[in-house]
Amino acid sequence: MSTQPGHAAQGITATDAPADASGVPAAPARILVVDDQPLFAQGLTLVLNAQAHVEVVGQASNGTEALELIAELRPDAVLLDLRMPGMSGLQVLARLREGGDLTPVVVLTTLRHERAVYEALHRGAAAFLTKDAPPALLLETLGRVLDGDTAVGAPELRRVLEKHGADLPLPAPLLPELTERERAVFLLCARGLSNQEIAESEYVTLATVKSQVSAILRKLGLASRVQLAVYAYENHITRPALDGD
The C-alpha atoms of residue 25 and residue 10 are separated, in whole angstroms, by 17
175 pLDDT higher than 50: yes
Q: Give the CATH number of domain 169-234; options: 1.10.10.10, 3.90.1520.10, 1.10.357.10, 1.20.120.1200.
A: 1.10.10.10
- The more confidently predicted of residues 213 and 154 is 213
pLDDT band at 67 (very low <50, low <70, confident <90, very high): very high
Q: What is the CATH number of domain 29-147?
A: 3.40.50.2300
- The more confidently predicted of residues 43 and 229 is 43
Task: Name which of 183, 176, 177 is nearest 198 in CA terms.
Answer: 183
Q: Where are the domains of the chain?
A: 29-147, 169-234
Q: Of all residues in the chain, what percent carry a pLDDT higher than 70? A: 76
The C-alpha atoms of residue 186 and residue 199 are separated, in whole angstroms, by 13
DSSP-assigned beta bridge partners for residue 109 = 130
pLDDT band at 31 (very low <50, low <70, confident <90, very high): very high
Report whether 52 contacts 14 (CB < 8 A): yes
DSSP-assigned beta bridge partners for residue 9 = 12
3 pLDDT higher than 80: no
Does the pTM of the predicted model rise above 0.75? no
Least confident piece of the model among 26-40, 155-169, 181-195: 155-169
133 to 4, 42, 110, 230: CA distances (angstroms): 12, 15, 10, 23
Q: What is the average pLDDT value for the chain, to the nearest integer? A: 80
